Every structure is written in structure tokens, then in C-alpha cells.
A = this chain, B = another copy of it.
Amino acid sequence: MKESKYVTIYKEWKEKIESGQIAEGERLPTESSLMESYQVSRDTVRKSLNLLEQNGYIQRGRGRASLVMPKQRYTFPLSEIASFQEVNKLSNAHAETEVVNLDILQDSHKIKKIFQQSVNGEVYELIRVRRMKDEAVILDKDYFVRDVVPRLPLNECKVSVYRYLEEELGLQISYAVKEITVQKANAEDYELLDMGDYNMVVVVKSHTYLENNTLFQCTESRHRPDKFRFVDLAKRKL
């Protein structure tokens, strides 16, 4: 499946903006000049600009060329489906991952409780601890449906599970529903994390769905409060 023209154009300008080739506050070329340079129709150009706008890179308006937004406004560590590796890259913080446990769960009652809905077959349980500067600050508990992920090599868990799922298994991840709450730390948190003085954790629960709308993963990510930060760009809803 070839990449669409408008995605190509989008990526090109996204890159230019991210790399700072176009300073914030600068204007993009007009739609007509973009049509000219790429030899495409206006609709195609506008689709690219739509993507740039939706992802917070530019702001558009009648009668004026698109404006490049300040960088801060499009670096969302968590509002997209981002794995720890990606967040890590953005924050420049050296971090390490330790696999605590990799197991297979068969008790359908227990599985249903974790996923908060019934799931066919077995699931992998992957528990990992994330370390920053030698402090254990994040506890990740991932659960994968084995009907979709039949094998989960241990060495892939140490790097990026998402990379393995998308590139090796060819899974098309579509969207995830995430919920953030703050809870009292439990025994497991105290055992596996360096909690220091803190007695609470930030809990990010997420359910991840494929293109064909099937639930295939859920995650519970428990953060020490000082190591948690979420940035979001909220647009006025129609």
C-alpha cells in the first residue's frame, strides 16, 4: 500500500517544523504555492495542512497563511499512543527497563477483571520497572491477548514491545482509551519502586484497539508522582 501524497507532504513539513527549519511564528507558503511546488490539487494540499493543524504544528485562519506554532505546544509526551521509549527520547532522560516478570494467565475470571470485559483465550502478563538515574520510578503492567500476540519473546520486552508488535507482527494499532487517576500506593508499589516519602502513585490505565476494532492489550502504568507529567493541546469542541 503506497503512502498517500498528502501524508508525504504532511511528513515533510512536520519534519521542517520539528527540526526548526521554519521558526515558530513564521508562515508557511500559501496553498496555491504548495499546489505549484508539489504539482497536486488544492484538496491534497489542504489535507496535509489539516494534519499539521490537528497535530498542533500550525494554526490556520481565513485570509492569512498558516502560522507555525511554538514548539512547546506540540510536544505531548502522553496524549498520543506513545511508548515509554518514545517519551524517553523526547525527555532526554537516560532510562532503563527491567523485566520483572513475563507470564501467561489462563484464569478467565482474573483476565476479565483486568480487562474489565470478557476476553477470549489466554493473555500474556508482562511486568516491568522503569529506572531513571538508578531510581525505580515507573511500574508497567502490560497484558496482551494471545489470540493476537501468540508469542512474546523476552528480549523484545527489554526494548520496545510496540516496535515488535507493529514491525514484526504487522499489527495495525488504531487507538487507545486512557484514564489517569491518583491512588494510594499499594504493597507492590512499595516493593518494586523507590517510593521515598511518597505514599501515592499516578495510575495510567489504557486499553488499546486494533484497526479492526478488537481489544488486544491493556496496560496499567504506575508512576511515582514527581516523575509524572502530562501535556495536552485541547481544542474547542464543536
A234 at the interface (CB under 8 A from B): yes
Q: Which of A203-238 contact B (CB under 8 A)?
A: 206, 211-213, 225-226, 228-238
A28 at the interface (CB under 8 A from B): no
Give the distance in Å from the alpha carbon of A131 to the alpha carbon of B85 in the complex.
40
- Chain A: how many interface residues by the 8 Å CB criterion? 49
Residues of B with C-beta under 8 A to A72: 177
Bitwise interface map of A from 59 to 78 toward B, beta carbon under 8 Å scored 1, else 0: 10100000100001100001
Number of copies: 2
In the complex with contacts A213-B59, A233-B175, A181-B228 CB distance below 8 A: yes
Interface: A179 (CB within 8 A): yes
A230 vs B61: C-alpha distance when bound (angstroms): 30
A231/B7 contact (C-beta < 8 A), A225-B200, A236-B80 known: no
* A176 in the interface (beta carbon within 8 A): yes
**Residue from B7, B11, B81, B238 in contact with A235 in the complex, judged by beta carbons closer than 8 Å:** B81
> With contacts A80-B235, A173-B236, A200-B225 known, what are 17 further pairs, Cβ within 8 A?
A7-B238, A54-B54, A55-B238, A59-B175, A67-B213, A80-B236, A80-B237, A81-B235, A174-B235, A175-B234, A178-B232, A179-B230, A179-B231, A182-B200, A182-B225, A182-B226, A206-B234
12 residue pairs A–B, Cβ–Cβ below 8 Å: A59-B213, A73-B177, A81-B235, A173-B236, A177-B231, A180-B231, A181-B230, A182-B182, A182-B228, A198-B200, A199-B199, A206-B234
